[in-house]
Amino acid sequence: MENIPVRFESIFSADCIIFGFDEGELKILLIERNEEPFKEWFALPGNVVYQSESIDEAAERILYELTGLKGIYMEQFYTFGEVNRHPKGRVITVAYFAMIRLNGQKELKPITNYAKKAVWVSVKDLPKLAFDHSEIFKKGFEKIKNKISYQPIAFELLPEKFTLTQLQNLYEVILNKKLDKRNFRKKMLAYDILKELDEKQKGVSYRAAKLYKFDKRKYSKYFHNELSFGKE
Amino acid sequence: MENIPVRFESIFSADCIIFGFDEGELKILLIERNEEPFKEWFALPGNVVYQSESIDEAAERILYELTGLKGIYMEQFYTFGEVNRHPKGRVITVAYFAMIRLNGQKELKPITNYAKKAVWVSVKDLPKLAFDHSEIFKKGFEKIKNKISYQPIAFELLPEKFTLTQLQNLYEVILNKKLDKRNFRKKMLAYDILKELDEKQKGVSYRAAKLYKFDKRKYSKYFHNELSFGKE
DNA sequence: AATATACGGTGTATTTTTTACACTAAGTGA
DNA sequence: TCACTTAGTGTAAAAAATACACCGTATATT
């Protein structure tokens, strides 16, 4: 790579799978395209990587433009470079996933001009997506399914204070299987990465559960130990 | 990404970490650069991705030009896109690792014109590499360390017929730790992905060991079960 | 006040997996 | 035949994963 003998006209871009957890469902943020090709199709949010920014910065910018959020956990997971993945030219795209806290406030005003609107769609009933985005989604979803089993990324999707039942539900939704309540709690608490708060859930019409926080400090301390959640 | 509003002059390339196992050491194939920048430095083999080929194809081509080998196990692991990673312009590179069987025949005549020569260097004493290639190597090495623990990729580095001791040595070298012989064999054989041959090792000045083959058919059968080698 | 409802919260026994550990067997070369 | 070197083997203990069911407590209803 390191010589620049020939310059081709190629574009690179970053696409983002933005995960959110809401009403017990795992959702992603899709845009409805305003332009050909694939006009009126749903697509993953994405954009060209500018000359002056790294790919990571491009991904952050895309997320920011769409959601107004910064400092979100994002991770690059794969680069898609088939010759004909874009009908209008050679486009290589680097795919990221992000996880954001919805907290109920799902209103989003997309700034990008090529999108009609942005919507949260449950991963259980995604439509066919533009370009090869269905394939990109599939690979990214596999990645996070795998990753939550050994890294504490699930917390990024929950409110800062959450109950163990909420956490378990999230694992169950992502892994698409039931987990045993007692074993889940035993294991999760044994990792000692949660901080039990003096607070309880509010506004529920039954016994309120204790709230917990993810304790980053404790986690970093044992960072080298891989975790293993949801492996029953 | 999906509109092409502006065209930037950017290059994308593929770089390869080519692993080989030889004389009890894990090695990678480096080229010595013939041109500025980083003239006479060692670098990972890499090249521009042509307009007419996918990134995977580019990686295969790079490997082929350097080694004459085709059909080798390769995997994309990360894309590096910092703005200033190449002093002469914006170059984004998609990194792959490959694993090849050395079988003693280490002679290689590099075809690429920008390399003086290609050499096998033990991962234990790599020099500083050109560009951000040291960082790329580090990430790729982490990846395979991790990956051999749950996928049978180590076999790609061994001759087709190998002894259990050779296999264990390879694991030990990659993971950089001693494994218990009995536990290693027990576990490995329990996975039932090896085929015991009627043949024995030859040319050794001690009791010859049984030879085994990796049995792809058996492995595919249980493909969904992740393995877990080297986890003592 | 009594009762119904719904989720919160807890422990133990069993099975499976992982780990630790050391000697005899077989082939080669002198 | 003897010395040397690696091949090949089993068991016990510890740790981790799994399966499993009931009472507690806050709220809502009458």
Q: Are the Cβ atoms of A3 and B35 closer than 8 angstroms?
A: yes
**What's chain B's Rg over C-alpha atoms?**
20
Please check whether residue B153 is in contact with residue B58, taking contact to mean a CB–CB distance below 8 angstroms: no
Residues of B in contact with A56 (CB under 8 A): 81
Q: Is the CB of B3 under 7 A from strand C?
A: no
**Which A residues 120-139 touch B at CB under 8 Å?**
130-131
Give the distance, in angstroms, between residue A232 CA and nucleotide C16 C1'.
12
Nearest CA in chain A to B83: A54
Which tens digits make up the pLDDT trace of A58-87? 999 999 999 889 999 999 999 999 999 999
Mean pLDDT along residues A89-103: 94
Mean pLDDT along residues A200-214: 94
Fold (topology level) of B11-147: Nucleoside Triphosphate Pyrophosphohydrolase (3.90.79)
* Number of H-type helices and E-type strands within chain B: 5, 9
Give the distance, in angstroms, between residue B229 CA and nucleotide D11 C1'.
22
Mean pLDDT along residues A102-121: 72
Which tens digits make up the pLDDT trace of A137-189? 999 999 999 999 989 899 999 999 999 999 999 999 999 999 999 999 999 99
DSSP B77: E
Give the distance, in angstroms, between residue A162 CA and nucleotide D22 C1'.
25
Name the pLDDT band for A125 (thresholds 50, 70, 90).
very high
Mean pLDDT along residues A18-39: 93
Residue whose CA is minimally distant from D18 C1':
A232
Beta strand residue intervals within B37-110, DSSP E: 42-43, 46-48, 73-80, 91-100
Name the pLDDT band for A102 (thresholds 50, 70, 90).
confident
A118: alpha, beta or left? (left if phi > 0; alpha if psi -120 to 50)? beta
How many CB contacts within 8 angstroms connect chain A with chain B?
129
Which parts of chain B sit beneath pLDDT 50? Answer: 1-8
Q: Are the Cβ atoms of A1 and B7 closer than 8 angstroms?
A: no
Query: What span, in angstroms and rounded, lies between the C-alpha atoms of A116 and A31?
Result: 7
Residues of A in contact with B13 (CB under 8 A): 1-2
Residue whose CA is minimally distant from D25 C1':
A207
Q: Which nucleotides of C are covered by protein (CB under 7 A)?
A: 5-12, 17-22, 25-29
Among A2, A35, A53, beta carbon nearest to B83: A53
Is pLDDT of A132 > 50? yes
Q: Are the Cβ atoms of A1 and B13 closer than 8 angstroms?
A: yes
Q: Which nucleotides of D are covered by protein (CB under 7 A)?
A: 4-11, 16-21, 24-28
In 3D space, the residue among A57, A55, A83 whose CA is nearest the CA of residue B91 turns out to be A55
Average pLDDT, chain B: 89
DSSP A81: -
Query: What span, in angstroms and rounded, lies between the C-alpha atoms of A149 and A227?
Result: 7
Considering all nucleic acid strands, name the nucleotide whose C1' atom is nearest to the C-alpha of residue B205.
C28
Which tens digits make up the pLDDT trace of B39-94? 999 999 999 999 999 999 999 999 999 988 999 999 999 999 999 999 989 999 99
CATH class of the domain whose range is A160-221? mainly alpha
Please check whether residue B213 is in contact with residue B198, taking contact to mean a CB–CB distance below 8 angstroms: no
Contact with chain B for residue A198, Cβ under 8 A? no
Considering all nucleic acid strands, name the nucleotide whose C1' atom is nearest to the C-alpha of residue A165.
C8
Is pLDDT of A2 > 50? no
Fold (topology level) of B154-221: Arc Repressor Mutant, subunit A (1.10.10)
| Cα dihedral value A121, A126, A131, A135, nearest 10 | 120
Average pLDDT, chain A: 89
Contact with chain B for residue A35, Cβ under 8 A? yes
> Domain-by-domain residue ranges, chain B?
11-147, 154-221
